[in-house]
Amino acid sequence: MAYALFVGGLLVVLAGLTWFARWAKGRGGGSGLAGAVAAYEEAYRPTSHHAHHEQRTAADRQSESGSPTDL
């Protein structure tokens, strides 16, 4: 019985975290967490930190370019 309660509780926690991740991604609320991870990566994994900045730059370039129908 205790095993079933443990597994059930674990499933509820994982479902809640999954829901929160989808909710935060949909609202764009992950930027604070992304900044914290970037700071960690800058200190302990500089190669990954450099890749993070390259990806952010590429995303900014795509958002600034607009669509071809804007002409």
Instruction: Say if pTM beats, i.e. exceeds, 0.85.
Output: no
pLDDT digit string, tens, across residues 8-66: 999 999 999 999 888 777 666 556 777 777 777 777 777 777 777 788 888 787 665 56
Q: Taking the CA of residue 67 as centre, how many other CA atoms within 13 Å lie in the half-sphere pointing to its CB?
A: 2
Which phi and psi angles does 46 have, rounded to 5°?
-65, -30
* Distance linking the first and last C-alpha atoms of the chain: 66
